[in-house]
Chains A and B, each alone.
Chain A
Amino acid sequence: MRKWIPAVLPGVITGGFAGQGLAAELKVKLELPRLNVAEYHRPYVAVWLERPDQSVAANLALWYDLDTKGAEGAGTKWLKDLRQWWRKSGRDLTMPLDGVSGATRPAGQHELGFAEGKAPLGRLPAGQYNLVVEAAREVGGRELVRVPLSWPPKSAQSARAQGQHELGAVSVELKP
């Protein structure tokens, strides 16, 4: 299990990149709602950036059961339930994803930070993207939320979307 590191990038590192100043930042806040159900399992969650044609531009986070053994086999067994992520990206990858995979998380607010030029965001061509959050819960439901954004940001911006079942509020903050 690897702890999520809010990636506020020191300017020193990006300073070397062809005259670029501070790296642009992408912050994601997402809420996993507290659900009053008889049997609760932490959801599997994938966070990624997609291009307008819905192809995956960057995998940002993947929370799943990292066990490689167990009564039900490896935790990867249920990755397919993150249906869209699995089809568009997951099935072509080898788990765990370095710097992207992490253990499942409890209900509540979670913050993720990414910086341009640094894994897993990397350097993306300027353009329109959607930040996509997909959550699937064992014996529960599945939900996908999209937040449109343009990258790199020219000014500080924020956008949000609201999940209805498996996701609460998803907000994105951009800093140039």
Chain B
Amino acid sequence: MKHLARLAALAIAATLPLTAQAHHYWLLPSSTVLSSPQWITVDAAVSNDMFHFNHVPLGLEALNIVAPDGGKVAPENMAKGKLRSTFDAHLTQPGTYRIQLVRSGVRASWKVDGQPKRWNGSPEAFAKEVPADAAELQVGEFVSRLETFATVGSPSALKPAGQGLELVPLTHPNDLVAGESATFQMVVDGKPAAGVEVTVVRGQSRYRNQLEALKFTTDEAGKFSVTWPQPGMYWLDADLQDAKTSVKAARQRMLSYTVTLEVLPQ
């Protein structure tokens, strides 16, 4: 998770527009629509091109696989390579599984004798470990959520966790077909988030000259609709900043949400 944290930290420290992140992080499931209980394998990486392993692996410490009944599924064969992380999951129940990496905490940077120092951890640890009078102290909070979904049999409902930025799928994420429209809602701490910019990029970006990113802005109810131009794996990302911090020293809270969606042909 170091890289996720670093990305978050860089974005906060530099207060760059959040879309200026150079790298993308993602999960790539082998299958999302299954007709019988079976294994899937998932890759996780940080890269320049969508769904190509060309930068660094993604840490899986915060990995969580939620079964349709709300129980946990333990990932198996977890491994970290030089360019990607990978794990398997045995999906035995009918319904929809949520595969997610959720991180939240405090990020701080300051200077000691002109040398930059970086720190990240929980709000509780922050009070103990970060000197309040540090030089050029910059503090931010973050909640980042990276996920994907897989369904055995008939899709089941998905409920938001109510923390940070999330996507509420009004169209089921494992029922997406090229040429059809899908409607989603962005929520912050469980409440509809209007005016959120959402970027959607189709995979295989290595094989075209332009990223061809689709941009959406959520309406007053936090909703937006995507008509999938063609089948494929899609990367959907939204980032947002607000001031709902739990640590006083933090001015900003950086929220990010990223999901991989599979769109099937007609």
Stretch at the interface among B29-37, B234-242, B244-252: B29-37
Q: Are A86 and B33 in contact (CB under 8 A)?
A: yes
Q: How many angstroms from the CA of A154 to the CA of B34 in the assembled complex? A: 42
Q: How far is the CB of A62 from chain B (nearest CB, A)?
A: 12
- Chain B residues lying within 8 Å of A80, measured Cβ to Cβ, are 33-35
A86 to B175, CA, bound (A): 11
Q: Is the CB of B33 within 8 A of A76?
A: no
B24 CB to nearest A CB, Å:
28
Which of A20-28, A35-43, A87-95, A164-172 forms part of the interface with chain B? Answer: A87-95
B209: Cβ under 8 A from any A Cβ: no
Contact A78 B35 (CB under 8 A): yes
> In the assembled complex, which residues on chain B have CB atoms less than 8 Å from the CB atom of A76?
35-36
Contact of A83 among B34, B38, B155, B265 (CB under 8 A): B265
Chain A residue with minimal CB distance to B39? A73
A91 lies within 8 A of B265 (CB):
no
Most buried by A among B35, B36, B155, B265: B35
- Tell me if A109 is interfacial: C-beta within 8 Å of chain B: no
| Residues of A close to B210: CB separation below 8 A | none
Inter-chain contacts of A145 with B (CB < 8 A): none
- What distance in Å separates the Cβ of B151 from its nearest Cβ neighbour in chain A? 8
**Residues 58 to 97 of chain A near chain B (Cβ within 8 Å):** 73-74, 76-80, 83-84, 86-87, 90-92
Asked if B177 is an interface residue, CB under 8 A from chain A, the answer is yes
For B116, the chain A residues whose CB sits under 8 A away are none
Q: Mark interface residues in B174-216 (1 if CB within 8 Å of A CB, else 0).
A: 0101000000000000000000000000000000000000000
Does B21 count as interface, using CB distance less than 8 angstroms? no
Given the interface contacts A87-B175, A91-B153, A92-B154, does A73 sit within 8 Å of B36 by beta carbon? yes
B35 vs chain A, min Cβ distance (A): 4
Chain A residue with Cβ nearest B33: A80
Place the interface of chain A in its size category. 10 to 19
Chain A residues, Cβ within 8 Å of B38: 73, 77
Q: Which residues of B contact A90 (CB under 8 A)?
A: 35
- A91 interface neighbour in B35, B264, B266, Cβ under 8 Å: B35
Contact yes or no, A77 B35, CB < 8 A: yes
- Chain A residues near B153 (CB, 8 Å)? 91-92
Give the Cβ gap from A157 to chain B, nearest Cβ, in Å: 28
- Give CA–CA (A74, B152) in the complex, Å: 14
- B residues 33-52 near A (Cβ < 8 Å) are 33-36, 38
Complex Cα spacing A122 to B192, Å: 46
Closest to A84 in B: B266
| Interface membership of chain B positions 135-160, coded 1 if the CB is closer than 8 angstroms to chain A and 0 otherwise | 00000000000000001011100000
* Additional pairs, 20, CB under 8 Å, beyond known A73-B36, A77-B34: A73-B38, A74-B36, A76-B36, A77-B35, A77-B38, A78-B35, A79-B35, A80-B33, A80-B34, A80-B35, A83-B264, A84-B266, A86-B33, A86-B35, A87-B175, A87-B177, A90-B35, A91-B35, A91-B151, A92-B154
